[in-house]
């Protein structure tokens, strides 16, 4: 049976895998939110940043999830990664005066995940 900490790490890893594979295969997907990749260099950079980097993060998180002695650091990392996206998205929403339903949905996921992970981390450090 997996611990709640391990499950939170795996959830984050799966999210990073999903986005990483999606942008590696289809870098033009960002056009849906207004980011046009009009050159080969732009598409290559999207594949590297949104594809490859996210897959690397996912691999690290999976490694942490399967090693019990790494789960604490894995949950810290997953929390900071997801919270970082949330902070950046919240700043963007505030700076731009609003957002699409998709951006609000991602922000909600990031906030809920971060709250759950911080709660589990607080329980881990108490014990």
Among residues 67, 114, 66, 72, the alpha carbon closest in space to that of 89 is found at 114
At 33 the pLDDT is 87
* pLDDT tens-digit readout, 22-73: 999 999 998 988 889 999 999 999 999 999 999 999 999 999 999 999 999 9
Given a cut of 80, is residue 107 above it in pLDDT? yes
pLDDT digits (tens, 9 = 90+) for 84-98: 999 999 999 999 998
pLDDT of residue 125: 82
pLDDT at 111 over 80: yes
DSSP tag of 70: G
Answer whether 85's CB lies under 8 Å from 50's CB: no
Distance CA 94, CA 110 (A): 16
């Amino acid at each position: 049976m997996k611990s709640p900490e391990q499950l939170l790490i795996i959830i984050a890893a799966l999210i990073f895998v999903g986005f990483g594979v999606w942008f590696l295969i289809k870098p033009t997907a960002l056009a849906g939110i207004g980011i046009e990749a009009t050159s080969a260099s732009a598409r290559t950079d999207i594949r590297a940043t949104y594809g490859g980097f996210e897959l690397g993060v996912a691999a690290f998180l999976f490694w942490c999830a399967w090693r019990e002695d790494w789960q604490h650091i894995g949950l810290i990392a997953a929390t900071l990664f997801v919270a970082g996206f949330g902070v950046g998205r919240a700043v963007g929403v505030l700076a731009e005066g609003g957002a699409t339903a998709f951006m609000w949905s991602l922000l909600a996921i990031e906030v809920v995940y971060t709250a759950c992970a911080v709660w589990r981390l607080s329980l881990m450090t108490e014990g």
